[in-house]
Amino acid sequence: MPRKNAPAESGHKNNPNVMGLRAAVVEEPITRTLETNYMPYAMSVIVSRAIPEIDGFKPSHRKLLYTMYKMGLLGGARTKSANIVGQTMRLNPHGDAAIYDTMVRLSSGYGALLTPFVDSKGNFGKSYSRDMSCAAPRYTEARLTPICNELFRDLDADAVDFVDNYDNTMKEPSLLPTTFPNILVSANSGIAVGMASQFCGFNLKEVCETAAAFLKNPDCDLSATLPAPDFPTGGELLFDPDAIREIYETGRGSVRVRAKYRYVKAENLIEIYEIPYSATSEAILDKVAKLIKEGKAREISDMRDETDLSGLKLAIDLKRGTDPDKLMARLFKSTPLEDSFACNFNVLIRGVPQVLGVRQILSEWAAWRTESVRRRVAFALRRKEERLHLLKGLRKILLDIDRAVKIIRETEEESEVVPNLMIGFGIDKTQAEYVAEIKLRNLNREYLLKRTEEIGGLEAETADLQATLDDPKRVRKIIIGELRAAAKKYGEPRRTAILYQYAADDAPDDAPAEYPVNAFLSREGYFKKITPLSLRMGGEQKFKEGDALRQSFQTTSGAEIMFFTDRCQVYKTRLSEFDDAKASVLGDYLPAKLGMDSGENVLYAVLPGDYSGFMLFFFENGKAARVPLSSYETKSNRRRLSGAYSDKSPLVSMLSLTEETEIALYSTDSRCLLFHTSMIPPKAARSAQGVNVMALKGKHTLEKALPASETPIANPARYRAKTLPSAGATLRQDDTEEKQLSMI
């Protein structure tokens, strides 16, 4: 026990620094930490980075284009991209690489947009290529394309709000006053925190026509003027009215696009010159090469990329007698030559992300554009009213110019000139300052008469502008006129053709006819497929030294086959993936052919057919699992399934069961048990541990399992069980003569 009045222990307990540190540590709920630390970041990504707004731009796009506009690159000569990137960093603090990537995506050279906003010169890469990267910004040049006139026309007319940049040193527009619904024209994508956005592009001319029709009648049929999306890489869109309707109504859905090709008969090759927007030429080449390697595209002798300055071109050399249309139908099904584009029309509306359909987007754009036009008209009205006010003051001195000069001359102090003019002619301060600033050379009757003659025209113009502000129909008419002008000046024909009638994607492959074959599996995992004729002529089967036959089958060349391994996995494939062999060869080594894990070995092969049978698994602990073959059936083309059977106890044997039969179990203590398979209930789960079948004593285990018909048992009644589990009976000498070896 400690001594009474013992001195205090030395160490950190009395250390004031440590005690102060402890006092500084304050527990805080995780929810509060997320709110104070994570939520501001998440909202910044959503509102200020990843989700486009109603003008169709994300902040990075807007900052870049506005910088180029202020640099005089709208209609001016190109300048180095590095110069643009450097200037943009005054608005965008995220670094030069991010800014240049944004410029590349908006450029005409890259080809990601139907209506590019950056006129590029030099290597900007290609959107359809994964490996064709852009040159450094010091080598390329850029300027704004003419369509940017539609973005900046009203920028200096108070059509949109301006906000401070990130360091409060300059102003930038919060939105660009686009005269057309750019949100539907420009393809856009972004990933925020907890949400994403994916816009497909639509044809500019069709969007403008649809917007005009919507302004006239909000209940108009959108599909009449906007049939389907349009993609800059072209291709052919497989028209599905239900899918299009879903996208238009909900803003979510997907469309399928396939490549365009032509057959060059003289050279017996196929040229692919347009591909889906979501695919790349390298991904297509890789997939076709894989099909050729797997023997699924034997009609192709070679495929190469012949893309040059004239555009994309993938060439496929065909073997003699190949039907190009049938081959392409198969390639559409199994390669990115046909791909889906998923739509998620998530847009920021007044700072709130919303997933909107096309009609809702048009409604929001029309309301926003109406406000922009009203602000522009109000700005013009204010300017003209200010001018009119000045000229009315000038008209008051027109009749007595000499008195105005006399007042100015007789005024002793400069600061009294304006007040004296105000008193002398009954005008306000603004008008008096305007009169006082008139040059001496302009104090002639001709100049003053010309200025005052503008009053009538200005009064008519202000009245017209005020009438426009007071009449929503006139504002709507202005917007429609601008839409039609943009469509006429910048509209282009569709690039993506629409296929209203096309072959279904679930059409059967043009597979070769099946024929009878014999299949052989060796103990060490070698597999070969031999035709009956070759088998009759080939003589004795060849195996690796120390290897032997495990299983053999008579089936057809296209049958499906499953290989169970010692890693509780099953590999599914078809015999058509194996070349016809001869009896004199070893065959394919399955671990390499099927891409098995290191050290994994094949135990058993099964022809599932229509998946109507069962698999029986027997384990050392005396349990047996009966699993329906349908548990191994998959809708997808997965080649490997894990958890093929239970791993709770070592596997002893597995059998494929097509009909009920008797099974003989042998234990390590020389006991045997016969039972009928109907006594084992089926388990739906592949990895089921099963039920107790053989009651084992001490440390003895189950040794093997065989169909009763393959055993030398002469007295089956001695070993037959009426109920399970059962210990069986001790083997007699006359029932132990080996008749056939176990398969495992």
694 half-sphere exposure, CB direction, 13 A CA radius: 34
515 half-sphere exposure, CB direction, 13 A CA radius: 9
Q: What is the DSSP string of 666-725?
A: EETTSEEEEEEGGGSPB-SSTT---EE-B---TT--EEEEEEGGGS--S-HHHHB-SSSS
Of the candidates 139, 500, 515, 611, the residue annotated as catalytic is: 139
Q: What sign results for the dihedral spanned by CA atoms 21, 23, 28, 32?
A: negative
Distance in Å from the first CA to the final CA of the chain:
69
Q: Judging by DSSP bridges, how do beta strands 188-191 and 196-199 pair with one another?
A: antiparallel
Q: How many C-beta atoms lie closer than 10 Å to residue 250's C-beta? A: 16
CB 509 within 8 A of CB 557: no
Determine phi and psi for 291, rounding to 5 degrees.
-65, -40
CA distance 47 to 352: 8
CA distance 212 to 481: 9
Q: What sign results for the dihedral spanned by CA atoms 378, 379, 385, 388?
A: negative
604 belongs to the catalytic site: no
At a CB cut-off of 8 Å and minimum separation 6, what does 660 contact?
A: 676, 677, 678
CB 223 within 8 A of CB 244: yes
Report the candidate in 528, 532, 538 with the shortest Cα–Cα distance to residue 516.
Answer: 532
Q: What is the CA radius of gyration of the chain?
A: 41
CB 252 within 8 A of CB 246: yes
Determine phi and psi for 525, rounding to 5 degrees.
95, 20
Residue 434, sorted as left (phi over 0), alpha (psi -120 to 50) or beta, turns out to be: alpha
Token duo for residue 712: 């030398």
CA distance 141 to 143: 7
Active site residues: 139
